[in-house]
Amino acid sequence: VGDGASGGHSGYTNSGYSVYEEENDRLTESLRTKVSAIKSLTIEIQTEVKNQNKMLSEMDNDFDSAGGLLGATMGRLRMLSRGSQTKLLCYMMLFALFVFFVVYWIIKLR
């Protein structure tokens, strides 16, 4: 099939390859280029996913430690409110309210 020796089709062959073989080679090279690009993109996505998973793991650890700290603080506040130090808590709240109003007043004067 198509060695180019018949019927005046001198353009049918080109250095021993048929037109179809050349087209097939060109398409194969195009496909190889596209597969290579997809492969490099996939490797980049894999690297990004690994980095994101590492970051999420670190954030999970940070949230766990913050949750533990908050839980301990809430436990101390409960203990403070139950104990005989209720007056101290009221004084601290009144002092914080006083400081808030002083700062508000200073900002309002500007």
d(CA 108, CA 98): 15
* Counted domains in the chain: 1
pLDDT of res. 80: 67
Establish if 59 belongs to a structural domain.
yes
Domain assignment of residue 91, yes or no = no
In a domain, 26, yes or no: yes
pLDDT > 90? residue 42? yes
Exposure letters 26-45 (e unless 16+ CB within 10 A, then b): eeeeeeeeeeeeeeeeeeee
Name, in order, each residue with C-beta under 8 angstroms of 19's C-beta and a sequence gap of 6 or more. Answer: 11, 12, 13
Between 2 and 108, the higher pLDDT residue: 108
* Residue 109 within any structural domain of the chain: no
What pLDDT was estimated at residue 16?
60
Alpha helices for 1-110 (secondary structure H): 19-82, 86-109
pTM of the model: 0.47
Q: Is residue 1 part of a domain?
A: no
Whether 94 has a pLDDT exceeding 60, the answer reads: yes
> What is the Cα–Cα distance from 64 to 73, expressed in whole angstroms?
14
Give residue 35's domain range. Answer: 14-83
* pLDDT value of residue 17: 61
Would you state the pLDDT for residue 76? Answer: 80
The answer to whether position 28 is within a domain reads yes
Residue 67 within a domain: yes
> Is position 36 within any domain?
yes
- Residue 22, Cβ neighbours under 10 Å: how many? 13
Q: What's the average model confidence in pLDDT over 2-9?
A: 48
Give the pLDDT mean for 31-60.
95
For residue 2, what pLDDT is reported? 47
